[in-house]
Structure 1
């Protein structure tokens, strides 16, 4: 499937599309694809170039951010590398706890469980099902990357908030790369639980701290070398207790020049997927495609969009860091008694270079990824990816179907901006 990843041979038609975004495959009524059990099973492939991840994000009631991530990386002929990353950040004390390790004795589908569950000496993600309950699916997340850091969480999806991907069926969720989508050079897919309830505790240096809050879960796969997938990524998840429970998430990537609408050289296509949860119900699933030359100020209606505001050169990274970020959503209602369109917007101030606001850290990505992945990416001249991570109090403005006056939800926004080239 990925035999052509390193090929430079042009397609037969030089202007044939080399990118097939999920954001253009499905019409409004087809955007919501409910997850099947298979969708959140790990592939754990050992062939080709595939990077797969499960990530649990939690924001507690006091604004503390907790992240647990499994990364399964298959790089060509090398044996897969399995990495566990845990990050805990308290914005009040500015204390950051971050650990990333390669795990030992990794197993997918431990005894008696399917491939939605995984374990190793240093962690376990155990999927649980309780059909017919208020929380029909959950994960028990136990992680101890080092003895000084231990995380214990129960992460549960409410029955009223379905997991989703863009589009139904086996093709749902996939953006494909290369001139032939039936035999792609690579792909990207995301599957989400957009709002979860999380309870548990962490132990840091022998001190226990209880945790309670809300967050999200994502299972994502890149079936391609990362530097060929995208030149940049944006991600955001907002959680609020207001109006019975509110969530807003977005994931956006921008393709390299090679992958575009009219063959090699027409790339720089942005694909954005997202969702809104209002009243603890999945209210809308949103997606949007933006092609090179299009601007956010155009006539096209907003569907799912992120805009960097007042970008400023950061001498530390060499990239144009935003001083603010605007997120916008619009999509058909999934709530039966509220037909029409849900809209929302959120504008967050992340500060300038000298006075950042809510900055958790700037991450030199090549310093953190597995060695074999670094070898494959870093040989590309000039590639030095950086990831900015923030968490801030924020207000989401929601316009419900049939209403012109927005309602506001106050909560916390965790957001990222990643620059690759």
Structure 2
């Protein structure tokens, strides 16, 4: 009970958590031992809208056939059951940030609501709707005249989550966990529509990726570091999402990933790795910024063929370095700033690299578009 009370204090006040050790985290990998992954349905994409401290997100990464890259994201946050805030973010990456900055639009939303089964979200001048058959989202926002969003994202392969629930649990009593982390993905989608800026409409016909995430606790208590990769090739797509828990939970590594092609999941589960093979010290904040990286996947197809895959090479010049504290909504800032030693930065890259894939005896090499992030929190 005392642990639970200390945890509640940490949740509200941002105080540092005690060291509970690795026994206080139950990785989704334990579910994946029996069931590497499950395909997700419309039911798995409901907004939970928790009434305790949490951050829930829908994030869409869009890769236009014309070379444009954008991100559209809805963040639903709750602070200690006291205050709920919703924010819509849109980012259009500049091909030459030195001469033209990235477009970043972040708007607090008013009068939010959900449809009856909580698969669609509405607010003033904003709607993210899941289709009745669960195969596509429409994303519309007129909250910022600099970035008017009108997109449709249709999955071209089933979505999945690791294990049976996609969820890692935190707490000293796993029957009553005090925190959680869940991810679900649509790894391969087609996109259509526009983001209209001051310069006019930008066409985003192309490929896309969708990630659902729910951090059922303070974000900086859940993880200290993140790695994320999304690969989109002519035939295959790959996703990898890795986080390292804070020292309070034994700095436990949790990595989920998968490889898909049109119409089918090749593999999914927790047998993935992300390694920064070369790093350089960021002169502004001392984080070890990656310059080269290697990502791997392993598993078995539904018919039992062994699969190994990797993406490896130079990440090139970063496309952006995001000072999270400068861009997150104010209420999140107040939670995170209270935690000593928290200085979150996200490094974003967009290199052209190849996916090397071995399925049984068949070897495939496919060059594609990559979007990858390395996040350092504490």
Structure 2 length as normaliser, TM-score? 0.91
Q: Which has the higher helix share?
A: 2
* Closer, same or farther: CA 122–388 of 1 in aligned 2, 3 Å: farther
Q: Is the 8 A contact 1:70 1:84 kept in 2?
A: yes
Matched, 1:408 2:365: yes
User: Equivalent of 1:350, from 306, 310, 315?
Assistant: 315
Aligned residues: CA RMSD: 2.2
1:48 matched residue in structure 2: 52
1:199 alignment partner in structure 2: 192
Q: What CA distance in whole angstroms lies between the structure 2 residues aligned with 1:232 and 1:211?
A: 31
1:81-120 deviation digits (Å, cap 9, x = unpaired): 10111011143686521111111221111xxx53111121
Runs of 4+ in 1 over 4 A off after TM superposition: 7-11, 92-95
User: Could you tell me whether the CA contact under 8 Å between 1:57 and 1:216 is conserved in 2?
Assistant: yes
Q: Distance in 2 between matches of 1:379 and 1:79?
A: 17
Q: How does 1:251-270 map to 2 (within 5 A)?
A: 251-259=241-249, 267-270=250-253
Say whether 1:91 aligns with 2:81.
no
Which position in structure 2 is the counterpart of 1:35?
40
State the match for 2:305 in structure 1.
340
- Give CA deviations for 1:37-94 in whole Å, capped at 9, x if unaligned: 331010122x221110011111122332111100011001432010111011143686
Q: What's the counterpart of residue 239 of structure 1? A: 232
Residues 357-400 of structure 1: per-residue CA shift (max 9 Å, x gap): 2x221111111222222111111222111111111212111111
Match of 1:166 in 2: 162
Q: Structure 1 residues 16 and 415, CA, compared in 2 at 3 Å: closer, same or farther?
A: closer
Which ranges of structure 2 fall in alignment gaps of 5 or more residues?
A: 11-15
* Aligned mates of 1:15, 1:150 — CA distance in 2: 46
Cα contact 1:344–1:398 (8 A) shared by 2: yes
Q: 2:67 aligns with which of 56, 63, 66?
A: 63
Q: d(CA) in 1 for partners of 2:277 and 2:357?
A: 21
Call closer, same or farther: CA 1:205–1:127 in 2, change over 3 Å: same
Q: CA deviation at 1:280?
A: 4.6
Superimposed CA distance per residue, residues 142-187 of structure 1 (whole angstroms, 9 cap, x where no aligned partner): 12331132121111112xx21111123xxx1110111211111201
**Residues in 1 aligned to 2:269 and 2:150: alpha-carbon distance in whole angstroms:** 32
Aligned residue for 2:336?
A: 377
In 1, distance between residues paired with 2:375 and 2:264? 30
Residue 277 (structure 2) pairs with residue 277 (structure 1): no
How far apart are the structure 2 equivalents of 1:9 and 1:156? 41
Aligned residue pairs total 368
Question: Secondary structure at the residue paired with 1:105?
Answer: coil
Q: How does 1:69-84 map to 2 (within 5 A)?
A: 69-84=73-88
Aligned residue number for residue 396 of structure 1: 355
The gaps in structure 1 that reach 5 residues or longer are 131-135, 260-266, 288-302, 352-356
Q: Using a 3 Å threshold, how does the CA distance of structure 1 residues 106 and 10 change in structure 2: closer, same or farther?
A: closer
